[in-house]
Structure 1
């Protein structure tokens, strides 16, 4: 039996995380490997740049809002795409998330899309599709340290988090659905000094 990983989970920035790259960020963990580190994409940072201006052939398949998302501060010149495959099979150019996903996460059918695959071959097999410029990455043990310091809540993900039509309200919505103390955190003011 493989070790549980953070793959398929959400890292939700706590109010104490002040790094502007991750302030109020919701990061979907694409891959968590104990030897290689962790890779994720910020799913609540849409840009103003339409997908069609960067990847014209893919624009018709992009989920609303059909813009590029800022996936994180690393590799911003490259794109990483996620897609939700239907039909219970792996279409050509789509790779499911590796390993076991985080307990409680419901991301069946979610995987990484190879943007070099012709969209006319793969696009129709995807129920949802989103492109991220850059990614968020942590070396081995780095993320565990940040979690221990209280920078991140580790929460279960659902596919709607990755493809939210209203990404700007995702941070409070994810916290609110947890109930209890985290629902209370969802009301934390963006700037406590104005309270």
Structure 2
């Protein structure tokens, strides 16, 4: 089976996916192929400043300057997602799609000065084995939509789920008004 890649897309949790940690999550897919998928939840800011855990990188990250909860897997490790400036391929950066890629946090930050346009650091990630994500999409757990750079680096991650749904041009836009607790509707 050959999977059409969804790398660079967003997974938006449908209202049917109501269990933590994915309830109303928005996941940026960094890698997707026949072997599975890997992404980070981009709308879960933690209450922990980057300078408390990775002080060398604190000036490189965008506001709000906190660690983000990237997913339930490997939460004791960090992934840095960065957008590079035009026509750069800095040391320690690996392209995922376009100008978005992963930064090796073991590389001295000084080597990337001027090359990184924006960056966020995530504790953990979301991962799926071969065929697992496709099954979840078929079951109605996720919407797959196009990403824009502001989805990853925007300054209001708490409203991202609604904003991504609202900008869709089909019935999905109506779900942006879905109540937090439908029983209270």
The bucket for the TM-score relative to the shorter chain is over 0.9
The equivalent residue for 1:74 is 73
Preserved CA contact (<8 Å) 1:58 1:123: no
Question: Is 2:15 the counterpart of 1:15?
Answer: yes
Deviations 1:87-128 (A, max 9, x none): 31211111111xxx5xxxxxx311110101101111431010
The equivalent residue for 1:192 is 182
Q: What is the CA–CA distance in structure 2 between the aligned matches of 1:91 and 1:57, rounded to whole Å?
A: 17
Match runs of 1:17-32 below 5 Å:
17-32=17-32
Question: Is 2:136 the counterpart of 1:137?
Answer: no
Q: What is the CA–CA distance in structure 1 between the aligned matches of 2:113 and 2:59, rounded to whole Å?
A: 8
Runs (5+) with no aligned partner, structure 1: 102-107
SS of equivalent residue, structure 2 residue 167 = helix
- Moved runs in structure 1, 4+ residues, more than 2 A? none
The equivalent residue for 2:36 is 37
Q: Structure 1 residue 164: deviation in Å?
A: 1.3
The equivalent residue for 1:122 is 112
Moved more, 85-94 or 9-18: 85-94
Q: What is the CA–CA distance in structure 2 between the aligned matches of 1:87 and 1:179, rounded to whole Å?
A: 30
The equivalent residue for 2:84 is 85
Q: TM-score, normalised by structure 2?
A: 0.96
Aligned residues: 184
Q: Structure 1 residue 183: deviation in Å?
A: 1.0
Moved more, 149-158 or 117-126: 117-126
The equivalent residue for 1:148 is 138
Q: What is the CA–CA distance in structure 1 between the aligned matches of 2:52 and 2:114, rounded to whole Å?
A: 20
SS of equivalent residue, structure 1 residue 91 = coil
Q: What is the CA–CA distance in structure 2 between the aligned matches of 1:63 and 1:159, rounded to whole Å?
A: 13
Q: What is the CA–CA distance in structure 2 between the aligned matches of 1:109 and 1:79, rounded to whole Å?
A: 20
Q: What is the CA–CA distance in structure 2 between the aligned matches of 1:145 and 1:172, rounded to whole Å?
A: 24
Deviations 1:131-155 (A, max 9, x none): 0000000110111110000000000
Runs (5+) with no aligned partner, structure 2: none
Preserved CA contact (<8 Å) 1:94 1:114: yes
